[in-house]
Structure formats: C-alpha cells, structure tokens
Structure 1
Amino acid sequence: MTHRSSFRAKCQIGLALLLLSAAGSVAAKTPDPDAREAFDGAMAQFRQSDLRAARVSLMNAIDDDPDWAEPHVLLAQVSLELFDAITARSEIDRALRLGVKPERINHLMGHALWLQGENEAASNLLTKGPIGAPFLTYANRILGRVRMDMGDFTGAGKALDQALENDRDDSMAWTDLARYRFALADQGGAIAAVEEAVKLNPNNVRALELRGQLVRSQFGLVAALPWFERALQINPGDIPALEEYATTLGEAGRHAAMLEQIRKLVAIDGVNPKAFYMQAVIAARARDYPLARRLLQRINGPFAERAGPQLLSAVVEYELGNWHRAIDALDSLVETRPYDDQARVLLARTRYRSGEYLDAWDTLAPLANRSDASQYVLHLAAKILQAADRREDAVAYMDRAAFPSARPAAVLNERSPFSAAADDASRNPNSAPDVLPYLRLLLARGETGPARAAALRLAEGNGSVPDAQVLLGDAERAAGNQTAALAAFERARAIRFTEPLLLRMVAGYRGAGNDDAARKALTEFAAFNPSSPSAMRLVAYDFLDRGEWGNAIPWLLRLRSRIGFNDAILNANLARAYSGLGRHSDAKREAALAYTIDPANLMVTHVYGQVLLATGKDIKHARSLLRKANKMAPTRADIRKDYETALKKKAG
C-alpha cells in the first residue's frame, strides 16, 4: 500500500470512528435509505476535499431523515472546514438535541466559537468541558489557535505540544504548530513543521496554503505559486487558497491571471472583502481612482481595518486630492504601525502637498536620517526642507541623493524604552521576541560589544529565526567582522530573503570585493520578485554603479513601466545610461523629461548638464545647468569639474 493510500485509509477509519462515537449515545436507528445513500456520497466527497458538494449531499440526507444524528455531526465539521461557524453551531445544537453526548462534539463547538471570535468561551469549553479521548488532538490544536489569538503564546505552545503528544501523525496539528512558530518569528521552525504536515498528508490544503505563504517570504512570489496551485487542484473552491493565489499573482505582475482567480472567488463568495481589495489595487494601478474608491467602500468587517486596505484608501484619497482624509487615515496607521515605512513616507508626502511642511519633516526625519535611506526619501526630505526655508539642510539631503548606490540597510530603530527592553532580555535571554528589541537598541546606541555577545547567544539558540541571524550579522559588521557578518546573513537568507537583507548582502559582498556574489544575490531576488520596484531599482542601480549601461537600461525601462514616467531620478538615470552608450538623442530626451518634472533637483540638473555637454551641440545651455548645479552644491568636486569643462568649451 502506498503512503497516500495508507493515509486515506487511516482518514476513512478515523472519520468513521468520529461519526460512530458521536452518535453512539443515540438509540440504534435505521436511517432512511435515501438519507444513507446521500450520506455515503457526502463521506466520499469529504474524503476527496470536495467540501461544497459534501455540504449539498448532507443537506439532502438531512431533508430525507432529519432525526438521524450522523449527517448533522458531519455537516458541522464540513461547515467548519468552510469557515461557516453559524451553520456549524446550528448543526451541533441539532445533534445535541438528537442525543449526541457533549463530549463527542464539544471540540467542534470550541472550533465554532473560536471562528466567531468568542475566544474566552472557546477556551473555557476546550479546557473545562468534557472532551472525548478521540478528539483531544483536535481540541488541543484549536485551543492553541485560541490562545494565540488571545496573546497567550506560552499557553498556545503547551496546547499544541499536547496535541502532538496525543497524535504525532496529525497533519493539522503540525500545520497549526507551523503557524505558531511563524508568529514567534521562527520561520525555519515553521517551515520544518509545515513540511512534516505535508509529508503526513499531501492533500492537506491548509498545510499547502501555509507552505506557499512561507515559500513566498523565503524565496519570493514566483516560487510560491506552485504550492497554491497544488492546493487548488485538490480543492478548487478553497477560499483562503484562492485569496493567497490571486494576491501572489497580482504582486508578481500577472494581473490577467489574478483577475481570473478573483472571478472564481466572487462566484463562490460574492461579498469577499479580499476580492474587492484586489480589484481596487488593480483599479488604482490603472489610475482609475474613483473606481478604486468605490470598491474599497464595499469592504466591511475586520479586513477593512488591516494595513493594506487602509494604506490603499489613503493613496486613493491622496490621488483624488483629498489631503485631509488621507492624513487622517495615515496618522492612525503610522501610530499603530510605527515600523510601516511606506505609510510614513506617504504621510510625509501628503503633509508636504497640503502645505504642512514642519509636520511633514517631523514625520519623515526618522527615515531620512537613516544611513540606508532610499533615494526617494532623501529627495522628498530635500523638497520638504526647501519648502520650509531650511535651504542649507535641503542641500545636504540633495547631496546624499545625488547618485544612487546599493547602501547597506541600517538597524531598525526600536521604539521600546531601553530599560524595559533590557529587563525583558535579561529575564528571557534565549527568547527571540524578548531579545530582538534589546539588540536593536544596543546596535542603535553603538554598543557593539554587548550587542555582539547577546546576538551570538540568541542566534545559537534560535538558528531558525531569521531576524536573530540578521542582527548577529549587523553586530559582526559593526565589530568589523565582515566574513562572520556575511555568514550570518546567508543563514538568514536561507530562511527568509527580504529587501533589507538583500541590501546588507550586496553591500557586504561588494565591500569584500566579491562582486559576483553580490550580483548573484541581486538577480536571484529579482527573479523571484519580478514586479518588485525595489528589486528592479536595485538591479538597475547595481549596473549603473558598475558602468554597465546596456544592462541597466532594460531594468530601468521595466521599472518605469511599473511606476510611471513621473520619477525624475529614474528618468535622469536613464539619461546617464543612454549617454554612457553614446545614444545622445535618447539621453537628451530623458534628461529633459527629468528636468521638467523636478528642475530643483541637484542630480537631475547635473545629469542634464552632463548630457548636453557630451553632445557638444548645446554648450550654452549645458553651462547654465552646470552653473546652477555648482551653486546648489559648491563643495562637490565632480560638479565643479564639469562646470569648468563647460566654461572652456565654445558654445555650439
């Protein structure tokens, strides 16, 4: 017998025992023959993960024989698999009235209560109510999810350990353990657990969906798609898998395929909030902001309070010119998510557009003052400071933004009080959630020695927590141990490859003279995240830094097709690349476009002057531009040299 057929046999026996024990307290009853036929069909459909067909068959069985308990029990379980807690509770109540003992069905009631957000009631029932021995694994894994939602991660861990102690071969228990580990930032442990879940049950749709999510953060968008496709082959109507698949397709730039999945989602669930959200994203990318707004207004419930819909709503209001609405939404978002850099930048930009220059600077300063501040952030900082009449400060940020390069990501600023973080770390020196904030604060304060010691201890005991490895790498880098830093970054990369980690690795490898390794990391990240503007920009800028103009141009054009023509820095870099290839007319066109968009930008002004100087045909204009750039940054030797070259050339 194969592993899969063996597993199926085990499931059939287990399901039969569940139903027999659930109805065991009821007097023997011969069901209606039609009801039995419909019920047997439902059992087969349930085993094949065709949950909606099973639900219809069970409703037919109940219509044929409403006093037979078994269809009610199975319909409750099917409804829970479909996230329909209301129907599940109704069927549980009917089963109890038909004589099913509470200990045979309380695990299902606890599950239903949890799905409805009644965590206290679910916890009380699952811990104090009678639970039959065959259902203890199920009850404990649901209890683990309940306690996770209540913020009791210690209790959640104990419940999940108990679930697996009851049955090491329960695929869903391993799946929920993976979710628990992921919530604790233990992505490596989560991957190991979900791999065990899939091994035990290759048809576990929840495990396949979670594996897809973990692969998405581990490698990238494209790598995750086969896992969602596999889940949907097993159950084409599974809503969470459809949502994740459609979202990943959209983020990968495959919008036609995304819309096809959205249509399937809407056909199954006509009020699905994620479907409206994904359609709103597409509308916003097409610059149809009124349509995006109408779609967002159809999103209700807890999903509307998530960061994604709130941020998109703010973007839409910004594009429609409703500054104050956008500011209100972004203020709330930044307050609740202080590390959300995207929301912080948008809030600063919105305040700048509305004329609130000082507030805009206060919002942006934490990002602009970081060593790894992006070119866009630096450019926005210069514009805000210039508008606030702080021209000397503005020039300093213009100078930093002048030419792009891949900078190492700085340590994330931690907003916890240092004393509180130190106390948490001393009490739990091997707990990643307790030690990580303390490490960030130590590194931000420049206390490299203590940071390195604490990071080494944490990383040794938390090898599968990527953030522990990243901070160890930061500590080693600060201590001057570049080889050790790169080794730590590589360990983190094997678990989760993110943009900040990419920045660290590229800077580290280039600093060590290993350009091939830096390029390999860049191209791998871009291959799995093909529609990521950050990835496109980083690869393009890497080629620009190397002077490989022909390789840079396709990436810059892809980036422009993704974000539009309004990015002056992007257009100026295209001009640099075209000029480097001797394509002077193309370079002049791009430089002129960049200057039209932002004539006050130092880089744009300088590049435009350089391009005209290289053509040899408009020296007078080139001289004027380079004079302006020289005045903007009088200490820049390269600009001064170009200006002096223009002065020596005759006007053409």
Structure 2
Amino acid sequence: MAALLASCSAREEQKPGFEAARVALAGGDGLTAENRLNALLEQGHGAPELAAYLGEAALQQDDLAKARRWLGDGTFSPSTAALGFRMLGQLEMREDRLAAAGAAFDRALRADPQNAELWVDIGRLRYRGGEQVQAIAAAERALAVDPGNSAALRFRAQLVRDSQGPRHAIPWLETALEATPGDVGLLTDYAATLGDAGEAAEALAALRRASELSPHAPRLAFLNAVIAARAGEFDLARSLLMRAPTTEIETPAALLLSGILDLELGQYASAAQTFDRLAQIQPDNQRVVRLLARSLMLSGGERELVARLAERAAEPRASPYLKTLVGRALETLDRRQDAAVLLDAAARPSVSAITPLPSRTRPEALRFDHLAHGADLRDFVREYLRTGQTDRAVAEAGRFARQHAGSGDAQALLGDALLAAGEGERATRAYLRAAQIRRDWPLIRRLVAAHMMEDDAEAARNALERYLSGGASEASAAGFYGGLLAERGEFASAAAVLDSALDHGARSDPAILALRSEMAAQLGDDAGARQFAWRAYKLQPLFPPAIRALARVTEDQALAARLEDKYEKVNNR
C-alpha cells in the first residue's frame, strides 16, 4: 500500500497552450485549464473548438451557470462533439434533468461509441434513474472498451462497494490508482473506502497524498474529520470539519458527523438542533431519531422529547433505546403510568421484529395510477401493509418490479410486501436480487428475517457473515451475528464480533452487553463478565437478560438472590 502511494508521481510541468490545458483538465485543475483556454480564445482560436473543454473546466469548478453558457447550445467542432455532448450530459445530470442527460449522451455515443468514460457516464445516469442492473452492464461495457481506464475502474469500484462492501472495492481503486496516481478525486474515494473498511492508517496516508497534490480539494477536510472522529479526536475533528466548504458541511453525512461531535463534546443543545434538521431531511432514519432523542434528553428537553417522539416510541418497531429515553423523560415529567408502559416494552425487545414503516402520505391521496415516482409507490405499498391489505401490496409491488426490472429498490420493495404476507421464500429471492445492487443493513436485516421465517438459521448466519466480511461496521448487524455464533457455541468468535459492535456504536445496547458478559464467562474471563453485566444492568435495570447476566456473575450471593427474584417477577409479567 505504501509503495502504491509512494509511486504517485508529481504532476507534469505545465506545457504551453492547448496541451497544457488538457493536462490541467486531466489533473482536475479546472481553473488553470480555463485560464489557458481563455488565452487561446484571445489568440483567435474559435469557440466551437474550445467550448467542450471550457465547459469541462467550468464543471470541475462547480460553476454550472458558466458550463451552461459553453455547452448549452451544443455548438462543438466535429472533433470535440463527443466530449462536448458528454459534458452536456454531465451538466444535465447535475441539474437533475435526467431525460435531457440521456439525450446528450445519445448524441455523444453516436459520435464516439467506443469511449469508456462515456459508458461510465451512461452507467451513472442509469443508476440514478433506477436502472441499476443496466448501470452494471454499462460499467462492464466501459471496461471491455478500455480495461485500464481509471474512470471505468473507479465506477466499478463504487458498484462493488454498494453490492459487496468497502473491503471488496479496494482492489478496484488500487488498480485505478496505478493508471492515474495523481487523480485527487480518486485518491479521496480510496481514502474514504479505506476508512469505511477500518483501515484508518492507510486512509490517512491516502489523504496526505491527496493533500499534497491539491491542498484545497473540497472533500479532504471532511474525510480527515471523519477519520479523526473515529479515532476519538473530537476537538480535532470539529476543527477539520469547520474547514470544509459549505457544500460539504450541509450534506446529510456532514450534519450527522457535526451532531455526533457536539454530543461527544457536551454541546447537547447544538446537537439537538443539528439532528432536528437532519430528521426533517431523513424522517425514516432511525439512527438519527435515536440521536435526536438522546441529545434532547441530555440538554434537558424532556418535554420536547415527549412531544415529538412519544408516539414514535410507542410503535412496535421502535428501538428499546428510544422507548427507554422517552420513558425516562415521562418519569421526569411525573407521568409515571405512561413511563411504565414504555419502560416495560423496552425491557422486552425483539431484535428480529420487522414491521412496515408508516406512510407519510394521506391514504386518500394514494392512487396507484397517479404515482409520479418510486417514493410514491413506496408510500402506496406501505399504506396497504399498515392496514393489513398484504395481497394488494404484493400485487402492486410486483407490478412495479416488473415495470422496473433493473431496479434494486423495486426488488427490495417487493421483498417487503412478500415478507409481510408471510411468503418468506419469495421474499428471500427478491431481497437477494436487490442485494446484487446494494447490500446495506436495512436490506440485510429484512433478508435475515426472511431466512428466519423459513427456519433457515444457517442462511441467516451466512447472510450476516457475508455482509460483515465486506467491511461493514453496522453495530446491530455485528450484535445479531454475535448472537448466532453464541448459539452455535463459537464463543471466542462471538466475543470478537460483539467487541466490534461495541466499538461501532453499541456501547448503550444492554442486549449486546449482556450477551458479551455471557461470552466472557464462557471464556473464563470472570472480571470481564462482571464488568459487561454491570454496564448492561445500569443501562436497563428492567431488562431480563441484563438482570440474569448480573445474577450469574456477581460475587455477592445476597445480590444474586435478589436479582433472581427480580428476574422471575419481571419475566413473568
């Protein structure tokens, strides 16, 4: 790895005229390229000869208005038409005009059908348009045209990362870097992927190299902040994040990081405001909801916490953590009866419970024939599932999946409808088709539920193992997998997986802590068993596994007897 990064050569010395502009464009330096090209215009070169390159330079500087001036009318010389229409397609994509982007790429394809980078752009358009299977085909076509093309390798890496995990994408990015070692965008993708795969030292080395090539590249500050936060350097992470451009700071990922840093640094009110903004952008993101609840509780906003999240906490699918926080807030407000209901429910979590998410659209507004896009269809099917109309949900989701055969999202939605209808085998097949496109934790969790519905614990274990082996760091997945390993008697492996879950966000999960206590006891680590049991019990003193874990490992026999009595009372309610 170090040898690969060390091999990145310094940028070539700039050459005069047009060739210097092309070298600058190849290196992602749109400003230098624009200056060189403008000099050529002043020397009498025609605009049609340079418009495609000037549009590309504007796109590299995120100046879409200037790019539109050069590309919008499609006036390019015959030798630059393929590039010009490809840049126009990129511009249309960035402005969310996907149909116009497709038309531009079609014109570029007629001019140059054997252009690997054009096939990459076509693939990205197809992916954005919900044609993920066709996007993979476009990536393969790009690599068939030019197996060593850096852009094609980078795109294939992104597709592999989605479907197999960050660890499997790394070799593709390394091959791309061998082709273009000075590509700053590629280096930052490489660093981000290394970081997500848990390779922090190598990620930092890649970021340092990218900083040497382009100190002000927009993503560098954010990625450095992420890695610093993962290392526990929260003040440094905050400082780095504040140096990121506004366009980066306002993304959902940056808002999430900012809120987490505020929590870690004790700035609870600020964290609550940030998570509130993010929850409005991503209302179905359960992690954001839990973080919002925690920040409100820590900032003394119990009344707001109850007002905003009590209804959500009462839902069957709500996490024990959310139920506990809202329950404690209700206790603070002296609403003890309401608190008891939630705290009792929190003490009886079901880690595999899968229930339909509520629709955010009024039922009377849902008419299939008038659906404008996939989000409408999702709400349409959710409403059917919520009201128990599973047959209609399956029928409409199936119809949508047939209409959009290349969409992983459509297959996942079909799987959801089939799972709710109790058709585990068919749901499994739909989820596996969706997983060929994107293998994230929400999908894997539902796939595991489908396997369990079919009493196939081995398939469930294999699905979790494959997901985690790709480099995913989802704490819930690691905790679930650790439980399955424990059931098989693989105590050392289960302990390692549970430790990973605790390192990646499960420090406040009493179920994982109680199970980790049991694994420590099985491995002869009595001190560790007591430590994990006490942590679980302090977090949720009414949680039966936490009570039982502490009763089994405490050296205080009187306490053990009281805990056994408490366990019987709580467990038999």
Tell me if TM exceeds 0.5.
Answer: yes
Paired amino acid for 1:145: Q
Partner of 2:167: 222
> Compared with structure 1, are the counterparts of its residues 440 and 182 closer, same or farther at alpha carbon in structure 2 (3 Å cutoff)?
farther
* Partner SS state of residue 436, structure 2: helix
**Structure 1 residue 318, shift from structure 2 partner:** 1.7
1:598 counterpart residue number? 539
Give the counterpart of 1:624 among 562, 566, 572: 562
Q: 1:481 to 1:619 in 2, by over 3 A?
A: same
Maintained 8 Å contact 2:476/2:506 = no
- Which residue of the other structure, out of 398, 404, 415, is the alignment partner of 1:473? 415
CA distance in 2, matches of 1:162, 1:372: 49
The answer as to 2:59 corresponding to 1:93 is no
Q: Equivalents in 1 of 2:310, 2:508: separation in Å?
A: 24
Q: Cα offset for 1:293?
A: 1.8
Deviation at 1:441, TM superposition (A): 3.8
2:64 aligned with 1:122 = no
Between the aligned partners of 1:433 and 1:315, the Cα distance in structure 2 is 28
**Residue in structure 2 matched with residue 607 of structure 1 by the alignment:** 548
The residue that corresponds to 1:534 in the other structure is: 476
Q: Is the 8 A contact 1:51 1:78 kept in 2?
A: no
Alignment of 1:543-582 (within 5 A): 543-544=485-486, 549=491, 551-563=493-505, 567-579=509-521
Distance between the aligned counterparts of 1:404 and 1:370, measured in 2?
Answer: 12
For residues 420 and 147 of structure 1, the distance between their equivalents in structure 2, rounded to whole angstroms, comes to: 31
In the alignment, is the contact (CA less than 8 A) between 1:409 and 1:500 conserved in 2? no
**Are positions 1:331 and 2:331 aligned together?**
no
Deviations 1:225-253 (A, max 9, x none): 11111111111121111111111111111
User: 2:21–2:36: 8 Å Cα contact kept in structure 1?
Assistant: yes
* Residue from 441, 460, 463 that aligns with 2:405: 463
Q: Matches of residues 203-242 of structure 1 in structure 2 within 5 Å?
A: 203-242=148-187
Mapping 1:304-453, distance limit 5 Å? 304-365=249-310, 368-369=313-314, 371-402=316-347, 406-407=351-352, 409-418=354-363, 422=367, 425-427=368-370, 432=374, 435-453=377-395
Q: Shift in Å at residue 50 of structure 1?
A: 9.1
Shift of residue 550, structure 1, vs aligned partner? 5.0
Letter in 1 for 2:561: R
Q: Does 1:523 align with 2:465?
A: yes
Cα distance change of structure 1 residues 129 and 513 upon mapping to structure 2, 3 Å threshold = closer
Name the SS for the 1:105 alignment partner: helix
Larger displacement relative to structure 2 (582-591 or 356-365): 582-591
Distance 1:290 1:360, change over 3 A: same
Further displaced range: 482-491 or 564-573: 564-573
Paired letter, 1:493: A
Equivalent of residue 100 in structure 2, options 141, 155, 160: 155
**Alignment of 1:244 onto 2:169:** no
* 1:509–1:517 CA contact under 8 A, matched in 2: yes
* Stretch deviating more after TM superposition (262-271 or 369-378): 369-378
Ranked by relative contact order (alpha carbons within 8 Å, sequence separation 6 or more), the top structure is 2
Mapped to 2, the partners of 1:168 and 1:433 lie a distance apart of 34
1:174 aligns with 2:115: no
Corresponding residue for residue 265 of structure 1? 210
- Give 1:119 shift: 3.2
Partner Cα separation in structure 1 for residue 399 and residue 508 of structure 2 = 48
Contact 1:348 1:363 in 2 (8 A): no
How much does 1:529 deviate?
2.2
CA separation of 1:117/1:579 partners in 2, compared to 1, >3 Å: closer, same or farther?
Answer: closer
**Distance in 1 separating the partners of 2:320 and 2:36:** 59
For the 8 Å contact 1:406–1:507, the answer to whether it is kept is no
In structure 1, what is the Cα distance between the partners aligned to 2:487 and 2:317?
Answer: 16
- Paired with 1:341 and 1:414, the residues of 2 have a C-alpha distance of 15
Matched residue count: 567
Verify the 8 A CA contact 1:311 1:330 in the aligned structure 2.
Answer: yes
- Residues 167, 470 of structure 2: 8 Å contact kept: yes
Which segment is superposed worse, 255-264 or 276-285? 276-285
Deviation at 1:471, TM superposition (A): 0.9
Q: Which residue type is aligned with residue 529 of structure 2?
A: A
CA contact (8 A) 1:144 1:156 kept: yes
Q: Report how far residue 622 of structure 1 moved.
A: 2.1
The structural deviation recorded for 1:482 is 2.1
Match of 1:40 in 2: none
Show CA shifts across 1:230-283 (max 9, x none): 111111121111111111111111111111111111111223343322332233
State the alpha-carbon separation in 1 of the partners of residues 47 and 342 from structure 2: 68
The structural deviation recorded for 1:351 is 0.4
Shift, 1:385, TM fit: 3.8
2: CA distance between counterparts of 1:389 and 1:178? 57
Amino acid at match of 2:224: Q
Is 1:146 the equivalent of 2:91? yes
1:483 deviates by 1.8
Does structure 1 retain, via aligned residues, the 8 Å contact 2:165–2:471? yes
1:6 matched residue in structure 2: none
Larger radius of gyration: 1
282-291 vs 300-309, greater mean Cα deviation: 282-291
Cα distance in 1 between the residues matched to 2:314 and 2:180: 49
CA contact (8 A) 2:160 2:168 kept: yes
2:445 counterpart residue number: 503
Letter matched to residue 559 of structure 2: H
Equivalent pairs: percent with the same residue? Answer: 32
Aligned partner letter, 1:529: G
Distance 1:380 1:578 in 2: 28
Indicate if the aligned counterparts of 1:533 and 1:562 stay in contact, CA closer than 8 A: yes
Paired with 1:160 and 1:527, the residues of 2 have a C-alpha distance of: 37
- C-alpha displacement at 1:477, in angstroms? 2.0
2:76 pairs with 1:131: yes
SS at match of 1:237: coil
For 1:139, the aligned partner's letter is G
